[in-house]
Amino acid sequence: MQAPQDASLTVSPARPEHTAEEFYVRQLIRSQLRLACAVAAGLLALLVGISALLVFWPVFEDIRLLGLPLPWWVLGIGMYPLIIVAGMLYNRAAERNEERYRSISRG
């Protein structure tokens, strides 16, 4: 089978599907997403673990500080420092990821 006589044989230059910069940006976004999911999963596991500990060991219910049961103190106030520390660690790791991306994109 032959091509029609009026068929053009010119080939347009193909643009690469992805540039290196697009690849590195995509990798940065993926690493930031993995980091965010890891921090969120860690906090969730910690919260569920502490809640389960307080539920399955009712002896903690008998301990009172300033008239409030210990589980209220732990879940109501004690989680905030953990959330702040997790946020600080996330921020530091995210900055490292971005600095690694900047060093690759400059070089």
Three-class secondary structure assignment of 31-66: HHHHHHHHHHHHHHHHHHHHHHHHHHCCHHHHCEEC
pTM of this structure: 0.69
Give the per-residue pLDDT at 31: 93
pLDDT band at 83 (very low <50, low <70, confident <90, very high): very high
Lowest mean pLDDT among 5-9, 45-49, 79-83: 5-9
Beta carbons within 8 Å of 74's beta carbon, 6+ residues apart: 50, 54, 60
Domain ranges of the chain: 20-106
Instruction: Tell which wins on pLDDT, 7 or 35.
Output: 35
pLDDT-above-90 percentage for the chain: 32
Beta carbons within 8 Å of 90's beta carbon, 6+ residues apart: 35, 36, 39
Give the per-residue pLDDT at 59: 86
Give the per-residue pLDDT at 32: 94
pLDDT digits (tens, 9 = 90+) for 40-77: 999 999 989 988 888 888 888 888 989 888 888 888 88
Rounded Cα distance, 91 and 94, in Å: 5
